[in-house]
Structure 1
Amino acid sequence: MLKYFSPLTLFVLGWLLLLNIPMFQTISLTNGIAQLILFALVVCLPAWKTGRLSYVDIGWPLGLAVIGITCLLLAEGDSLRKGVVSFVYLFIGLRMGLGAIKMWRAGAFKKEFPRYQFQRRRWEKSGKTNTMLVIQVDAILQGLANASFLAVPAFIISANPNPSYSVLEILGLLLWFAAFIMESVADKQKHQFLRDMKQRGEKNKVCNVGLWRYSRHPNYFAEWMVWNALVIAAIPSLLALFSSMPFVSWALLGAALIYASYIMYNTLVFFTGAIPSEYYSVQKRPEYKAYQQTTNMFFPGPVKSSSSAEEGTA
């Protein structure tokens, strides 16, 4: 049974860290309970009934909105700083969450999304044969991520009472806006490409237009930069809180802040992002292997010629 529940350990420790820092006790307890209730009703129960993990796509972003609401109501820092970070979490969460609900209403959740089908391959390789149990554990893990590391940037920023603002905070906010624009443009270019292919009667073509010429997953990269922007914006507030808690707690809080970026990178590349997507794209799109040779997977970069790509793999 240990192999089923061990992935939860680090996230439980992250939540306990927040609960043991006096200024975060109330807000982290409230957020944690709210996340567990949300995931129990929106993810765990439907997943138990249907055997599908895709409901995480509704619960996880709505959980981000819960973080925003919790900070807005309970945080005791500067009101403008608290309002801005609360808005960011609410915006990110409701944008994705309401979009997922729209898909659910359209019937998209009647079958498991490919990225969660890919998860089953991982479970089989690791010897996790009790599918219903591992689905529940993975769902709870997402809720604990919202209760712990993904809430850390918001909690740190909204706890800072300093009425003056750092250049680093402004740069973080500008980076967040630029990353959001990049993600929106990438999504729009992908949708336009699919519409054009449908009008032409073409199927299973590779989207390599616009931002997709420089990264095979520019939307995932931009989403990661959204979280990096929050981490950057939180650094001045972390420094401002140095004298408010024991050094060990402060250092662990800083490590948790950095780990939030790692979690999102790991998720967007390996867990439910690029790797699962490409597993199916290679099978579905005949030209995708050539696309892989000429275009970076995650980080945007110059287009490589086919000859140089062949030399690099020789």
Structure 2
Amino acid sequence: MSLAWLVRMRAGQSGWIDAIWSAATGLAGFSVALTPASSAPFGRRLLAAGLVLLWSLRLASHIFARTRGAGDDPRYAALAQEWGADFPRRLFVFLQIQAAAALPLVASIALTARAPRPFPDFFDIAGLFVAATALAGEALADAQLARFRRAAPRGAICEIGLWGASRHPNYFFEFLFWCAWPLIAFDRSGAFPQGWLALAAPIFIYWLLAHVSGVPPLEKHMRATRGAAFDDYARRVNVFFPGPRVNLLAPRSNGRRRNR
């Protein structure tokens, strides 16, 4: 993240920060997954390494492609305006906090790779299915948004496909990906109780995306730039978890039962 800080200061584009964080977290997770462990089946270590590598390559390459030729990320631009002349120093500290934020994720990968039960079993397959669904869903959400932006007028709000079921489907599928790790780490025999600690990954990433650095600053920017159009969209579409839209035209009950 020190490298990410240097790139941001030289290039003036904050998108590189998230790309470098994704690549660095993936490299760390890949390394700990393949670290030799006598009690862990090699197949599970290989599964963990492969999943985090796919996640990292997809996310980092997507952010790299999006950043090239684009302006500054609105979240970091808001911080630059808020911090003023102290922005370089405060950004450096902020990025070291981001580096620390990767620790629960990498620790969950390490725990998952070291689950000692025979490989493969039901939980390995279930975890693989959840991770594959999440990676495909996040890639689809990103592709739908990119396609919309190429065709829609500037300032329009994407409401096609997955974006009509959640205001942040890419964040939801990112959270879903990390739900795969405690599934694979789980040992129903009780011989590996520390596997439950892998729950730290989905819990932490949900808190981070839904309440800290994901949804709140992005929606603040959307409200500032889209105004009433975004407020209308927010009233009709769930913020994080995909689900049916709210029908604003449906009659509301007054709470009293009607006699038949």
TM-score by length of 1: 0.69
Is this contact kept in 2: 1:212–1:218, CA < 8 A?
Answer: yes
Task: Summarize the Cα distance change of 1:292–1:133 in structure 2 as closer, same or farther, 3 Å threshold.
Answer: same
Confirm whether residue 224 of structure 1 aligns to residue 179 of structure 2: no
| CA spacing shift, 1:233–1:160, aligned 2, 3 Å | closer
SS of corresponding position for 1:306: coil
Which digits, 9 at most, give the CA deviation of each residue in 1:54-105, with x for residues without a partner?
A: 432122111122124313542322111111110111111122223333445x
| Structure 1: 4+ residue segments shifted above 3 A | 47-55, 99-104, 118-121, 237-240, 307-311
Task: Identify the residue that residue 117 of structure 1 maps to in structure 2.
Answer: 77
Per the alignment, residue 51 of structure 2 pairs with 88
Task: Determine the structure 2 residue equivalent to 1:162.
Answer: 117
* Counterpart pick for 1:177 among 118, 132, 149: 132
For 1:229 and 1:241, locate their aligned partners in 2 and report how far apart those are by CA, in whole Å.
Answer: 17
| Distance (whole Å) between structure 2 residues aligned to residue 163 and residue 238 of structure 1 | 11
Instruction: Give the SS at the match of 2:180.
Output: helix
Determine the C-alpha separation between the residues in 1 that align with 2:154 and 2:212: 27
User: Is 2:97 the partner of 1:134?
Assistant: no
CA 1:100/1:189 → structure 2, altered by over 3 Å: closer, same or farther? closer
Matched, 1:283 2:244: no
Tell me, yes or no, if structure 1 residue 264 matches structure 2 residue 227.
no
Change (3 A) 1:166 1:264: same
Q: Distance in 1 between matches of 2:90 and 2:12?
A: 10
Question: In structure 2, do the counterparts of structure 1 residues 68 and 137 end up closer, same or farther at CA, with 3 Å as the change threshold?
Answer: same
Q: Tell whether the 8 Å contact from 1:48 to 1:136 is kept in structure 2 after alignment.
A: no
Gaps of 5+ in 2: 254-260
Give the Å deviation of 1:272: 2.9
Over residues 158-207 of structure 1, what are the superposed CA-to-partner deviations in whole Å (9 max), with x where a residue is unaligned?
A: 1233333342232121111112222122222222222332xxxx332221
> How many residues are treated as equivalent by the alignment?
250
Q: Which residue of 2 aligns with 1:35?
A: none
- 1:208 alignment counterpart: 159
Match of 2:64 in 1: 101
Q: Deviations over 1:243-297 (max 9, x none)?
A: xxxxxxx4xx744x33322221122223332222222222323521111111111
RMSD over aligned Cα, in angstroms?
3.0
Distance 1:163 1:216 in 2: 40
CA shift for structure 1 position 229: 1.7
Q: Check conservation: 1:224, 1:261, Cα contact below 8 A.
A: yes
Cα distance, 1:238–1:107 mapped onto 2, change above 3 Å:
farther
Distance change in 2, residues 1:259/1:43 (3 Å): same
State the AA in 2 paired with 1:156.
Answer: L
Q: State the alpha-carbon separation in 2 of the partners of residues 183 and 265 from structure 1.
A: 15
Alpha-carbon spacing, 1:118–1:226, altered in 2? closer, same or farther (3 Å): farther
Distance 1:225 1:233, change over 3 A: same
Kept in 2: contact 1:193–1:207 (CA 8 A) = yes
Does residue 294 (structure 1) correspond to residue 250 (structure 2)? The answer is no
Contact 2:182/2:196, CA 8 A, preserved across alignment: no
Q: Hey, what's the Cα distance between the residues in 2 that align with 1:294 and 1:265? A: 22
1:144 corresponds to? 100
Give the Cα–Cα distance (whole angstroms) in 2 for the partners of residues 176 and 270 of structure 1: 23
Using the TM superposition, give the Cα deviation of residue 239 of structure 1 relative to its aligned residue in structure 2, in angstroms.
Answer: 4.4
Other-structure match for 2:17: 56
* Higher helix residue share: 1
CA shift, 1:120, in A, is: 5.2
Q: Supply the AA of the counterpart residue of 2:77.
A: Q
For the residue of structure 2 that corresponds to 1:305, the secondary structure is coil
What displacement does 1:309 show?
11
